[in-house]
């Protein structure tokens, strides 16, 4: 009889990012590659599967069904039906801690993609000059989603014995005056940074990925670049396709080198450099723990 596959959970709520987790790996000799070799299919949980990035990560995990038995987490039954209504998709409110236990029970890894999403106020006319104004819906402010919601996910995963949490944040968190913080007076990067620190202090093996501006472009055709402390924001390479962020999330589940690490992530324009295929080499460039 074939060994069971490890489980990964992908979680999330509307317009927000996702979460994923893996089982423990066996000891690895320091003289050999440190790619994780799982005794069964990993069970990662991915949150915010209804988001664009969440759907891409979930799809990539399902394509690797010999490695992963993925679970998705969405905010509503309606969202679940929109992505097929499968039994491996759970419905939960990440703002309510008690809702998360069933989804993470028995999971090996958690990939957190949840993020608050500002909306533009109606009535803006670009022909009249000025700037658009933004707001957050009630109950969907960054403090509630990016702090309380992510903290609840981390706590639930830790209580369930999850062995690896991959958290997708954002570049810009070192600057409290970043323009994104002014949108809807939400201070979104402040709250994201707080949840990142909470994860780093949790004791659970973690990987924090901070991508630059997200693009709806093809993945797998660009050279990826890692950095730290928002240094990439001072360069011309400060954006990345969502599909490439999704692939990095999946790859992060497979390498010991990227545990207890945090990094900024961007890509060169298509046609410049060599498309990244060796993720072990990419992750070996990551040195920062936060």
Distances (CA, A) of 110 to 55, 201, 243, 255, 279: 15, 16, 18, 15, 20
Q: Report how far residue 183's alpha carbon sits from residue 227's, in angstroms, rounded to the nearest whole number.
A: 25
Q: Is 22 helix (H, G, I), strand (E, B) or coil?
A: coil
Distances (CA, A) of 33 to 37, 192, 205, 256: 10, 33, 19, 9
Residue closest to 110 by CA, chosen among 194, 17, 220 = 17
29 among known catalytic residues: no
Catalytic residue among 117, 170, 195, 267: 170
Catalytic residue numbers read 170
């Amino acid at each position: 009889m074939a060994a069971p596959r490890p489980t990964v959970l992908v979680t999330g709520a509307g317009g927000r990012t996702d979460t994923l987790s893996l089982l423990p790996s066996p000891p690895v000799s320091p003289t050999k590659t440190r790619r994780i070799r799982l005794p069964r299919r990993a069970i990662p949980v991915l949150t915010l599967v209804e988001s664009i990035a969440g759907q891409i990560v979930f799809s990539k995990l399902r394509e690797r069904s010999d490695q992963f038995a993925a679970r998705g987490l969405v905010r509503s039954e309606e969202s679940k039906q929109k992505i097929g209504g499968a039994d491996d998709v759970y419905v939960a409110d990440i703002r309510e801690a008690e809702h998360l236990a069933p989804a993470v029970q028995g999971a090996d890894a958690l990939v957190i993609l949840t993020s608050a999403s500002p909306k533009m106020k109606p009535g803006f006319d670009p022909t009249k000059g000025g700037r658009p104004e933004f707001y957050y819906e009630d109950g969907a402010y960054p403090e509630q989603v990016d702090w309380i919601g992510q903290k609840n996910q981390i706590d639930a995963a830790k209580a369930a014995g999850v062995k690896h949490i991959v958290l997708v944040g954002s570049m810009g968190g070192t600057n409290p005056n970043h323009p994104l913080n002014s949108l809807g007076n939400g201070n979104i990067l402040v709250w994201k940074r707080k949840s990142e620190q909470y994860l780093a202090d949790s004791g659970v093996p973690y990987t924090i990925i901070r991508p630059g501006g997200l693009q709806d472009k093809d993945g797998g055709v660009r050279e990826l670049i890692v950095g730290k402390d928002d240094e990439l924001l001072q360069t011309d390479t400060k954006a990345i396709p969502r599909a490439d962020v999704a692939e990095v999330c999946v790859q992060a589940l497979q390498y010991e080198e990227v545990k207890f690490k945090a990094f900024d992530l961007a890509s060169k324009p298509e046609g410049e450099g060599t498309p990244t295929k060796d993720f072990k080499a990419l992750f070996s460039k990551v040195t920062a723990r936060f």
